[in-house]
Structure 1
């Protein structure tokens, strides 16, 4: 196995940009279906305006240059080429921290977070296998534990013997899994959300207030939208043809999920900018990874909320709608915020400064008191 760490730079060929623009211009638009806005999916007028901006207003080269402002590398782990950002801090006591993105996101999720974090942390941001510039899985049977082993190897290869882990969405499964695999190396696990979410099996022991939390959780848009878990588990290859061939079809799918995952109570465009959505979508488009990024779903047997790692201190950016005592059945929770802003799926994109401050608070406490844990 080649363990070399090689410099990497994003350089999308101009012909790929020209092809994208041409495809956007040849869109065969469907008729709007009857019903209120968003009732049948992404409204035609909404998407047409966004597509026109993607074609004539959005500047990929500017965002490509910005992403290339972060030191990027590739290395082979477990037989797969892994792409990652590695931003070293100038702080003498900086804590190494590995961030894991989720779906339908990419390493782009952390573009606004890296700067604030790098004041106090050596930041490592790998692309999940099959996402962006990382090679896709070569076979079936992949899970969060396999990715966690790869990330532990990556941190060892970078020379970090003690470090923190962070994640949201699928990253919320990977981050604690690293601590289970390498507990002697992980000083703390920090998750955006997901711990202690009540299930139907918990109902008999819930208080009246907690039952109301469960009801609200089950009625949220992100819990009742398009069931991407079932869709990607059942027929990802079928849908990948459309996403891979039609940038408008791919964008519509992304916008659908970004809207459903937005639980802030505000319109999507007030929470996540058009350029953020388009940069993330463009990475998927140019790397052809709409299909390969579905593996966390088609390789799963069902859905379950993430669980923390016993014995390793864990912090959560947004506790509710999770219930702390439920999370503490399997996790050593030492930080459980209830009033942080940004109650939705994409906190790193919407609230990078608040998220960085909370991560700093958690790992500051872990670093000071870690010998007692």
Structure 2
């Protein structure tokens, strides 16, 4: 088999793994209750207990597995690493190839509800799992930073035969899409982001506008309240990785907290959240996913300026809302900017698939004129 071969892939988690998970959940030992009447110390004990009970007795992994196996799943080896991806072609002959890139604690599952609408609206969809995430291989040496991932995705799209395509991402996906924009691989026409990389180091003006000040205030709140996971994963991913690999309760709490805090309450179903948690559990990728933060922390923190066409969609419940002026400072060819979207937060495609699709349709129209 040649290394550049693309092979079909099916998910077949053994029954023994499901039984082991259930056994661990039945023997879980939880921390004592929080000493506050809210989630300010982390996920409340009773809330987590309820989630774990449903995971053990009501959740059906096989339902998700069947759904995924009915889609076009594949794997290919790029730069020595096996990459898993979905590839679903549109029935429209003139469809636009679209690369969709996920972040943490999300996965390729974030985009499932957008696949049908996107292919119906004229997109061929490619959704890879980040290296170290899901069913992609786990890097066994250092160096798989966003730049290397971006280069690998350029190879992926070329290998699939796409000589003209768009890339979209949020969270880590936004970082990787941005690096692809800087690298300009053959065929990449434009990128769209819903969480720009520059939010890690905003291009603030000497005299910040009211919109900039509001965004900086949001950023300060994030650092003060939500960033504990980030500090741990960028400094000690291996240490937290042991807990994430050994304890389903620990993994669930680590991920559940973010879905609770970063999405509007009630917008995601318990099954949707457990789909992601289960994916991390069955693939044992808690540590390898966390190492991406460690890799990124070893790169210089600088503004990546882009010359190719860029679109930015700012969803209202995002952790830090992008002011237009920041996008204009980073992107010399800002073709699309929308900060007037009705709903949606950090997991935009999962929370509001219809609105997410509309953003991509409009952006594509703008870059195709």
Match of 1:361 in 2: 362
Rounded to whole Å, the distance in 1 between the matches of 2:347 and 2:300 is: 20
Q: Find out whether 1:139 has 2:141 as its counterpart.
A: yes
**TM-score normalised per structure 2:** 0.92
Which piece of structure 1 moves more, 202-211 or 235-244? Answer: 202-211
In the TM superposition, residue 305 of structure 1 has moved relative to its aligned partner by 8.3
Q: How many residues align?
A: 362
In the TM superposition, residue 309 of structure 1 has moved relative to its aligned partner by 5.3
Match of 1:100 in 2: 101
* 1:240–1:197 CA distance, 2 compared to 1 (3 A): closer
Match of 1:60 in 2: 61
**TM-score normalised per structure 1:** 0.91
Match of 1:50 in 2: 51
Match of 1:118 in 2: 119
User: Mind listing any 5+ residue stretches in structure 2 that lack a counterpart?
Assistant: none
* Residues 103-148 of structure 1: CA deviation (Å, up to 9, x unaligned): 1111111111111111211100111100011001121122111001
* 1:346–1:201 CA distance, 2 compared to 1 (3 A): closer
* 1:146–1:46 CA distance, 2 compared to 1 (3 A): same
Contact 1:183 1:312 (8 Å CA) reproduced: no
* Residues 56-83 of structure 1: CA deviation (Å, up to 9, x unaligned): 1111111111111211011110000111
Q: Find out whether 1:293 has 2:289 as its counterpart.
A: yes
Rounded to whole Å, the distance in 1 between the matches of 2:336 and 2:31 is: 49
Match of 1:36 in 2: 37
Rounded to whole Å, the distance in 2 between the matches of 1:22 and 1:327 is: 49
* Residues 240-265 of structure 1: CA deviation (Å, up to 9, x unaligned): 11111110110011111222323xxx
* 1:174–1:123 CA distance, 2 compared to 1 (3 A): same
In the TM superposition, residue 302 of structure 1 has moved relative to its aligned partner by 6.6
Rounded to whole Å, the distance in 2 between the matches of 1:155 and 1:300 is: 23
Contact 1:190 1:314 (8 Å CA) reproduced: yes
Which piece of structure 1 moves more, 189-198 or 159-168? Answer: 189-198
In the TM superposition, residue 225 of structure 1 has moved relative to its aligned partner by 1.5
Contact 2:43 2:253 (8 Å CA) reproduced: yes
The root-mean-square deviation of aligned C-alpha atoms, in Å, is: 2.2
* 1:162–1:58 CA distance, 2 compared to 1 (3 A): same
Contact 2:178 2:197 (8 Å CA) reproduced: no
1:184-195 residue pairs with structure 2 within 5 A? 184-194=186-196
1:150-161 residue pairs with structure 2 within 5 A? 150-161=152-163
Rounded to whole Å, the distance in 2 between the matches of 1:307 and 1:114 is: 32
Match of 2:268 in 1: 272
User: Mind listing any 5+ residue stretches in structure 1 that lack a counterpart?
Assistant: none
Match of 2:11 in 1: 10
Match of 2:329 in 1: 329
Rounded to whole Å, the distance in 2 between the matches of 1:81 and 1:17 is: 24
Contact 1:166 1:172 (8 Å CA) reproduced: yes
Which piece of structure 1 moves more, 195-204 or 43-52? Answer: 195-204
1:161-310 residue pairs with structure 2 within 5 A? 161-182=163-184, 184-194=186-196, 197=199, 202=204, 204-220=206-222, 224-262=225-263, 266-267=264-265, 270-301=266-297, 310=306
Rounded to whole Å, the distance in 1 between the matches of 2:334 and 2:242 is: 43
Rounded to whole Å, the distance in 2 between the matches of 1:200 and 1:164 is: 24
In the TM superposition, residue 227 of structure 1 has moved relative to its aligned partner by 2.1
* 1:280–1:260 CA distance, 2 compared to 1 (3 A): same
Which piece of structure 1 moves more, 228-237 or 318-327? Answer: 318-327
> Secondary structure of the residue that 1:205 maps to in structure 2?
coil
Rounded to whole Å, the distance in 1 between the matches of 2:66 and 2:14 is: 14
Match of 1:21 in 2: 22
> Secondary structure of the residue that 1:329 maps to in structure 2?
helix
